[in-house]
Amino acid sequence: MILFQNSRFLDVFCLRILLAALPILCCVPALAADAELEARFKHFEDDTLSRTQEDLLAELKAIEQQIPKGDQASWRRWRRLWCWNGQDDGSESAVLYANEQLAEARRAGDKAAEVDFLLCRGYYHEAAGDKKQGEDDYSTALKLAEQYQQTRLLADAYSLRGMSESQTGRLAEGLRDLQTAQRIYEMLQLHYWSRDNLANIANTYRRLGDVEKALEYYNQLRQIHETEKDYLAVGSILSLSADALEDLGRYEEALATYRLAAEYRRKGGLSETEAPSHLGLGSALLHLGRHAEALKSLAAARADAEKLKNPGGIGLVDLFEGQALAGLGRHEEALARFAAAEPHFRKSELTRYLAWLQQARRDVLAAQGRWQAAYEEGLAFQQTHEALDRLLREHESSRLRIEFDTERKETENKQLQMEKALKEREVVALDEARRWQWGVIALASILLVILLGLAGRQIRRARRLHVLAMTDELTQIANRRHIEMDGAEAIRKSREDKRPMSILVFDVDYFKRTNDSYGHGVGDQVLVRVAKASQAVLRQFDRLGRTGGEEFLVVLPNTNLMQAVQVAERLRAGVASVVMRDLAEDLRTTISIGVAELKPDDADLRAITGRADNALYRAKGNGRNRVEFES
């Protein structure tokens, strides 16, 4: 009711209603006749993923029969659906069809069709391996959808571009686009498409390394689809869950989940040959060492990938077949498969898969005794792996920054909108104060509560970012900045209370050898376990931090030199007892420790750490896995 107090708004509102009503009043019989056609269009547009390809084509043919010959708008609408569902992925004819229909839509001035055919063309460019052209089409369609105010198509554009960015390693940008699409789908109450997009968000979190969060999303989606008895959708989600379980190294569980996914797909109407996720089954069998069985599944996966003309899929099949052949001792055949896979990965910029290939090829070359070639391939793998690690860290930082900026912008927009609405209501209240005074007061109270809630949320967000800035990303202990602040504070308190204070400096013995022998992934896990073992044996008031690489610093308040040596021995023994066999059969990790105590003439923390470093060097020189203290 408050909206109608503005007379100009009321006039415009009423005029729009009248204009909208006129064609309806004039065309009641035609609308009644077209009700079934509209319902079939709407159902197809809002929910196509739960049906098999045969069902989709049959439904499209049925809709085609109902369209009047002269109804060009309905024909363009039908052709939009045919572009997405009636073409072969990656085929030149699909791109040509999208081009022809795009030109026709522009001639007719059909803005929605223009945007949709751009998206369709981009999809087929991407399916053919031309991701740049695909993303260019998505970005152009996104701008036009904003310009033409095509909200549904705007969500589709964000979703498609986000998927492409995520698949090519631009994870933070992909997550931002997918989350934007999710907000629009939910606003439009397009439940099926919001769930499909949510699965892509989960996939992006999995690529970011947050596999547990991805599994939470998959389980949530599985429950929804099972409740609705959408068995094809359940099968798709179970396949994604199996991929995530493989990332966690739970291969038996992944294999069982792939097979369960096939059962659901069969319940959904797929044939015995279509139902299994052949690539996933092959990957799980490969990790379990069942190489001959893996080759059978991968042969079926190759047929699937070639049918879809999916370069990335074909490259993965080549890679996995090569690994299976290597496991059977057929090294030259394995190398041929790797050579076939590499161009697919490089063309599609699938860096993660390229790293897998380089690692596998290095191992095969080493097994053949071709040590120089294996060494060179190992260097290439190390460079790719380090680049991936850097990218992952950058993406995680970008993701947090994007989420923070998005929250901040949304909060600012809401505040501006609420402030504008409040000013308009204040003007109305001045005109009719006696009639609306209680409503204005109540509304102002509600707005105040919302603003306070938003402000509290921002404060909590800022605090979280502060914690992240002071924490080492890998080991989740204090980072260098944090531990040095703790050390400076301990020195200040020690001098104020006239109590002793000591520090330990330690690093992991032969850590470079561990990285070179087992890879940086194993090296990272070693550092994580060393940090956990250290925290377990330190006292409640001791402070542990990572200062860089494999180097750590422990601040021991109220502790003299000999007490610190005892703590150091306990720490050394605790790390030496950590079991590393699950990472590598012959892997054993020890640390060397240097101990120093605060002296009256120490200017700052650097002075004491310098003496501790000297002691650490003596520990290394005297054989490692030992404790030395300042002389």
Question: Any idea which residues carry the catalytic annotation?
Answer: 550
Q: Are 60 and 78 in contact (CB under 8 A)?
A: yes
Task: Supply φ then ψ for residue 173, to 5 degrees.
Answer: -65, -40
Q: What share of the chain is helix, strand, coil (3-state, %, to 5)?
A: 75, 5, 20
d(CA 507, CA 616) in angstroms, rounded, equals 8
Amino acid letter for position 316: L
Report the alpha-carbon distance of residue 490 to residue 496 in Å, rounded: 10
Tokens standing for residue 566? 């005892």
On whether the CB atoms of residues 338 and 360 are closer than 8 A, the answer is yes
For 315, counting Cβ atoms within 10 Å of its Cβ (0-12 exposed, 13-18 middle, 19+ buried), the class is buried
Beta strands 627-629 and 543-548 are unpaired
Q: What CA–CA distance (Å, rounded) separates 487 from 556?
A: 9
Rounded Cα gap, residues 16 and 31, in angstroms = 20
Rg (CA), the chain: 31
E strand intervals along 433-580: 501-508, 543-548, 551-557
H-helix or E-strand spanning residue 597: strand 591-597
- The single-letter DSSP state of residue 554 is E
Phi, psi of 545 (to 5 degrees): -150, 155
Nearest CA among 199, 181, 303 for reference residue 244: 199
**167, 179 Cβ separation under 8 angstroms:** no
Cα–Cα distance, 524 to 550 (Å, whole number): 9
- CA dist 215 and 84 (Å) reads 29
CA-to-CA distance for 210 and 195, rounded, in angstroms?
A: 19
Strands 627-629, 591-597: pairing is parallel
